Amino acid sequence: MAPGYGLEDVRPLLARYLEILEEEFGSRPVSVAVFGSVARGEARAS
């Protein structure tokens, strides 16, 4: 089985996404959810 990747691999992208949301919406958003294989810990490198 190929080694997977996970949240630590996409954390920089998520951090930037949160920065953009904060720039656009300020403190109004209450939460941001991550769905899919990365969130479940089942992601695999392709």
pLDDT at 20: 95
Q: Flag whether pLDDT at 1 surpasses 60.
A: no
pLDDT at 21: 93
pLDDT at 33: 86
Question: End-to-end alpha-carbon separation of the chain, Å?
Answer: 12
Question: How many structural domains does the chain have?
Answer: 1
45 lies in some domain:
no
46 lies in some domain:
no
1 lies in some domain:
no
Name the one residue in this structure whose structure tokens are 């656009």: 24
Q: Flag whether pLDDT at 39 surpasses 90.
A: no
2 lies in some domain:
no
Rounded-to-integer distance, Cα 8 and Cα 20, Å: 19
16 lies in some domain:
yes
- Give tens-digit pLDDT for 3-38: 566 777 788 988 999 999 999 999 898 888 888 887
Q: Which domain holds residue 27?
A: 7-40
Kindly give, in sequence order, each residue whose CB lies less than 8 Å from that of residue 10, ignoring residues fewer than 6 positions away.
Answer: 38
24 lies in some domain:
yes
28 lies in some domain:
yes
22 lies in some domain:
yes
